[in-house]
Structure 1
Amino acid sequence: MDLAELGDRSDGPPDRLAPARYTAGWLPRQIARYASVVDMLPVGSPGKVGVLDLAFERIGDRTELTAHYQKAPLHIARPLYDDPERPDMPSVMFLSSSGGVIQGDRYRIDVTCGAGSSVHLSTAAATRIYRMDQDYASQLVNFSVGPGAYLEYLPGHTIPYVDSRYYQRIAVTADPEATVVLGETVMGGRLARGERHAYAAYCGDLEVRGPNGQLVFYDPMRLAPPERAVTGPAVLAGFGVVASFYVVTCVRPARELADAMHDTLATTGLRAGAGVLPGERGAWARILGDRSLDVTAALHLTWDVVRRLLIGVPAPDR
């Protein structure tokens, strides 16, 4: 089916392009201090607001994309059923028609996964956050995951360039019987060019809640090198790449997942560790390294061992 033929979401908001939809209602202090009016191509100009709104449902013996809305520069590739071990699970790639994120950009992504559905989400390439003289850029990501659903979101690296200011909020609403696997990798800049933590601010918030709104866990990241060094022992130490990996599930005991992740990461030689999420709702891991290839390989190994435990199949080579 042509994506253009998919219907609009009947339960969706009446105006996806209303500023309140793509503007963060709250900003960390490290980002808010840069908020300003952009002289050229201000917020809301054509190409400055990217929107994706997707819905997936279990239909027959596989998951289908049942609703789809997009506004450039954000769009998706046609769903592919390319995992031979899970032919029922579509792989959907988020794309951008722009070369990267610039000042004043506002992106919003909403994904709803119906009961029993399974989907893998990724990006086509690294997200490059370009140098900024005014304002900041932001991305709001919202996932709603129904009972028995399985969602993977493993985007490519985020690379903040010199003087860039970027805020990302990922908000997950997950049924207690759902499984959500999330990964994120942030580089300290264009390391091969000698840029190392020269960005102005990179801030992220991840929050996971139950259907009743009760908070499961919250993980903030605040990196603002001009204000406070990010190379200390409680931040990134002397490393240039950090990856975070989260598994929210009740399919297997949290301690079993955390131990499997820890044992796997111990074989990589990288600075890494894993632990149990609050309320034993799953497990999480953090990986530090100097080379993106090493960190990516370690993240893939972690994803692989988790997949084998949760759904009984290995992670495909992406």
Structure 2
Amino acid sequence: MDLAEIGERVDDSPDPLSPARYTAEWLPSQIARYASAVDMLPVGSPGKVGVLDLAFERIGGRTELTAHYQKAPLHITRTLYGDPGRPDMPSVMFLSSSGGVVQGDRYRIDVTCGAGSSVHLSTPAATRVYRMEQDYASQLVNFSVGRGAYLEYLPGHTIPYVNSRYYQRIGVTVDPEATVVLGETVMGGRLARGELHAYDAYCSDLEVRGTDGQLICCDPMRLAPPERPVTGPAVLAGFGVVASLYVVTGARPAQELAGAMHDALTGTGLRAGAGVLPGERGAWARILGDRSPEVTAAMHLTWDVVRRLLIGVPAPERRV
């Protein structure tokens, strides 16, 4: 076995590195137009395909990591139980040994949360998407969240550099009695260097479905400055940072949750707001700002309000 591969896979498909697993079934046109062969470390080469496959179960009063497969450059920290308000809930960070995302990279992450489990997932730093001359990079993330489970996925910022092309798809399957809290923050580039929306394309798709396959909500983002300005009033309106927080839950009324999130954001002074998800399956918020620190603080404040309402404990301090 490759030394970069450890653990036991969650599913039983024969080849975890099959191109069918790490290749998106569909690409937005803004990304697909750049698809091409890479003559330096082509797609599928060692170090170009990262895989994480994790499973969590509630055992003996706390959640444990019960299955773990990883393929470099993706890997994880060991499970840490450092949340004073929820000592039963592990925190796991997704890491990359590559230092950033480059052309031809293909990442896939699968996480299964068993009934009654609780887990916090994050990254230790921003994801840097480097300049590309050929092709694009992508990351596919899939969450399966069982009955009574509680999942938080709050990664650090994504920073697309000049001429980068990046596609991310997050697919969630959630039980009606489970809760999922998802965050995404995108910077318009290396703002301190004056790089504002100098990337070729940043596209993302969030799709949340119930265990019956019915669509709960979806949120596509298409940013392609060379094709169409992204600084208009209906897009980013000149701001350099955009953050979104999605809360899929039946634990509290959607209107109550959205109202609390909106009230928290009103005091930040940022361009932000919150609303109810379709079918009142939860709430979501979006935040626009000029600088990363102020948007990060607003996201943390909103996450804190959500936590206090749903699980009765504050949000711990984060390093990202």
Flag whether TM exceeds 0.5 (same fold).
Answer: yes
Identity %: 86
Matches within 5 A, 1:43-122: 43-122=43-122
Residue matched to 2:238: 238
**RMSD of aligned residue pairs (Cα, Å):** 1.0
**TM superposition score normalised by structure 2:** 0.97
SS of aligned partner of 2:227: coil
Cα distance in 2 for residues equivalent to 1:122 and 1:276 = 25
Cα distance in 2 for residues equivalent to 1:112 and 1:12 = 14
Cα distance in 1 for residues equivalent to 2:126 and 2:100 = 9
What amino acid maps onto 1:189 in structure 2?
A: G
What amino acid maps onto 2:29 in structure 1?
A: R
Task: Report the alpha carbon displacement of residue 7 of structure 1 after superposing the two structures with TM.
Answer: 5.5
More displaced, 11-20 or 233-242? 11-20
Gapped regions of structure 2 (runs ≥ 5): none
Matches within 5 A, 1:113-152: 113-152=113-152
Q: What are the Cα deviations for residues 101-156 of structure 1, in whole angstroms up to 9, with x where unaligned?
A: 00000000000000000000000110000000000000000000000000000000
SS of aligned partner of 2:67: strand
Contact 2:7 2:70 in 1 (8 A): no
What amino acid maps onto 1:46 in structure 2?
A: P
Gapped regions of structure 1 (runs ≥ 5): none
Contact 1:7 1:66 in 2 (8 A): no
Task: Report the alpha carbon displacement of residue 10 of structure 1 after superposing the two structures with TM.
Answer: 5.7
SS of aligned partner of 2:309: helix
Cα distance in 2 for residues equivalent to 1:272 and 1:192 = 23
**TM superposition score normalised by structure 1:** 0.98
Contact 1:160 1:187 in 2 (8 A): yes
Task: Report the alpha carbon displacement of residue 9 of structure 1 after superposing the two structures with TM.
Answer: 3.7
What amino acid maps onto 2:45 in structure 1?
A: S
Deviating above 6 A after TM superposition, structure 1's stretches of 4 or more consecutive aligned residues are none
Task: Report the alpha carbon displacement of residue 60 of structure 1 after superposing the two structures with TM.
Answer: 1.1
Cα distance in 1 for residues equivalent to 2:109 and 2:10 = 17
Q: What are the Cα deviations for residues 11-60 of structure 1, in whole angstroms up to 9, with x where unaligned?
A: 43221100000000100000000000001100000100000000000001
Cα distance in 2 for residues equivalent to 1:240 and 1:199 = 13
Residue matched to 2:249: 249
Cα distance in 1 for residues equivalent to 2:42 and 2:93 = 28
CA spacing shift, 1:242–1:10, aligned 2, 3 Å: closer
SS of aligned partner of 1:15: coil
Residue matched to 1:160: 160
SS of aligned partner of 1:296: helix
Matches within 5 A, 1:166-177: 166-177=166-177
SS of aligned partner of 2:296: helix
SS of aligned partner of 2:286: strand
SS of aligned partner of 2:234: coil
